[in-house]
Amino acid sequence: MQYAIIVTGGKQYRVKSGDVLFVEKLPVEAGDTVTFDQVLAVLDDEKEAVIGAPLVEGAAVTANVVKNGKAKKIHVFKYKAKKNYRRRQGHRQPYTQVQIDAITVG
């Protein structure tokens, strides 16, 4: 089984072929193909690991965009005791759901 560690949206993800994951919103439509070229490492059970310094040269991970959406609403509540200060705010984080197709090492 081949794994890769990729960077997207300021976060690192450990992915393998067939994985479905939620990443920070990408400027693509559902059904499109997206390529992640910031690959930090490619790991394989049989072979030796390829570690980048900082990135692996020629490595890429391709994925299909399943959908774009928003996460469940969270409520942010600010409060100061005895000062009659209360603020309530909601937030829904946008995301892109992708399914990993292939991991290639150049």
Say yes or no to pLDDT of 103 above 90: yes
What is the per-residue pLDDT for 80?
A: 98
- The model's pLDDT over 13-65, given as tens digits with 9 standing for 90+, comes to 999 999 999 999 999 999 999 999 999 999 988 888 889 899 999 999 999 99
What is the per-residue pLDDT for 59?
A: 94
What is the per-residue pLDDT for 46?
A: 82
What is the per-residue pLDDT for 1?
A: 86
What would the DSSP string read from start to end of 73-96? -EEEEEEETTTTEEEEEEE--EEE
Sign of the CA dihedral running 14, 19, 25, 29: positive
What is the per-residue pLDDT for 93?
A: 97
- The model's pLDDT over 52-87, given as tens digits with 9 standing for 90+, comes to 899 999 999 999 999 999 999 999 999 999 999 999
What is the per-residue pLDDT for 28?
A: 96
Alpha carbons 23 and 36: distance in angstroms, whole number: 12
Considering the entire predicted model, what is its pTM?
0.85
